């Protein structure tokens, strides 16, 4: 029980922290490439999904906590999460509750896994797009360099070969 809940808690808080940092970096327009408005849309949707899953997790976790958090503790927990819960020892009643909630917890873990996959797909797409952009820039640079080299060194004839123009200093 503790393993399931602790792992799920750490996964959820990790995703929440990632989306918090990603949306923060998308808003800042410092160095690097800033995201356009349509790039941030999937992040916001996934972030909302993580918030919803965290709310579900807290409701499922509450019966197993030694001291269920009050409203004030939940506000503090939002700013600095503890990745390990303080859970009750397993008794007969708690085992019964665990058997009833375990399928929901496993389903929640699967949902978190799906969100992680979508996030990885989004990140991979963003990186791939950036690589293609750099590749286009390098091709443009190579074409410009080639044109400059042709202009300075020689000319290209119909056969595709470059013939060097020899320049002799005035004697």
The predicted structure's pLDDT at residue 42: 79
DSSP for 5-27 reads: HHHHHHHHHHHHHHHHHHHHHHH
pLDDT given at position 36: 46
CA end-to-end span of the chain: 93
Show the tokens assigned to 82. Answer: 């503890």
pLDDT means per 10 residues, the chain with 171 residues, are 84 89 69 53 85 91 75 50 67 86 92 92 88 92 80 64 59 50
3-state DSSP assignment of residue 89 = coil
Q: How many CA atoms lie within 13 A of 125 on its CB side?
A: 11
| pLDDT score at 146 | 79
pLDDT for the residue 134: 94
pTM of the model: 0.63
- Is residue 134 packed enough to be buried (19+ CB in 10 Å), middle (13-18) or exposed (0-12)? exposed
Q: Which two tokens stand for residue 17?
A: 């922290």
Q: Can you give the pLDDT at residue 136?
A: 93
Residue pair 1/89 in contact by the 8 Å Cβ criterion: no
């Amino acid at each position: 029980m503790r393993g399931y809940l602790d792992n799920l808690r750490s996964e959820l808080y990790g995703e929440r922290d990632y989306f918090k940092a990603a949306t923060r970096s998308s808003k800042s327009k410092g160095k690097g490439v800033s995201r356009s408005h349509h790039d941030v849309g999937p992040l916001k949707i996934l972030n909302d999904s993580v918030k919803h899953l965290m709310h579900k997790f807290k409701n499922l976790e509450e019966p197993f906590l030694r001291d269920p958090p009050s409203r004030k503790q939940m506000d503090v927990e939002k700013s600095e999460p503890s990745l390990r819960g303080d859970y009750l020892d397993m008794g007969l009643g708690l085992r019964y509750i665990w058997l009833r909630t375990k399928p929901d917890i496993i389903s929640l873990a699967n949902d978190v896994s799906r969100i992680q996959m979508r996030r990885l797909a989004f990140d991979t797409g963003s990186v791939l797009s950036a690589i293609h952009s750099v590749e286009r820039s390098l091709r443009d640079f190579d074409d410009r360099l080639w044109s400059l080299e042709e202009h300075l060194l020689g000319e290209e004839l119909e056969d595709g070969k470059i013939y060097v123009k020899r320049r002799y200093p005035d004697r």
